[in-house]
Amino acid sequence: MTQHTHSELVGLIWNIANKLRGPYRPPQYRRVMLPMIVLRRLDCVLEENHEKVVRKYEQLKREGKYKEEAIVKILGKTASEGRKHPLFNTSHYTFKKLL
């Protein structure tokens, strides 16, 4: 790789980094990046059972014989296989679908 090609590549990488950073300066990154990292991590944890939970939620809503509190308990059991805490997403949206 020549020095000229290397410099072009470095410039391209920095231009992309500047576009991704947008209007935020280093002290402001935590305002956006930390919440996005936490949300993405939650999305990854929920991904394993997401389709099963959404199907079960729609089934329970169609049946119409359960109150919202009962639905939450049922979905908690459906989603918490292998986990200590019931955590689930009944939305059809995930990070993969949004991006």
pLDDT digits (tens, 9 = 90+) for 58-83: 999 899 888 888 988 888 888 877 77
pLDDT at 34 (0 to 100): 83
Task: State pLDDT tens for residues 32-61.
Answer: 778 888 999 999 988 888 898 899 999 998
> Residue 80: inside a domain, yes or no?
yes
Asked whether the predicted pLDDT for residue 1 surpasses 70, the reply is no
> Residue 83: inside a domain, yes or no?
yes
pLDDT at 58 (0 to 100): 92
Indicate the number of domains in the chain. 1
> Residue 17: inside a domain, yes or no?
no
> Residue 87: inside a domain, yes or no?
yes
pLDDT at 29 (0 to 100): 75
CA distance 13 to 17: 6
> Residue 40: inside a domain, yes or no?
yes
> Residue 14: inside a domain, yes or no?
no
* Helix ranges restricted to H, the chain: 3-21, 29-47, 50-63, 68-79, 95-98
Evaluate whether 56 touches 74 at the Cβ level (below 8 Å): yes
> Residue 6: inside a domain, yes or no?
no
For 78, the token pair is 């459906």
- Residue 84 is part of which domain span? 25-91
> Residue 55: inside a domain, yes or no?
yes
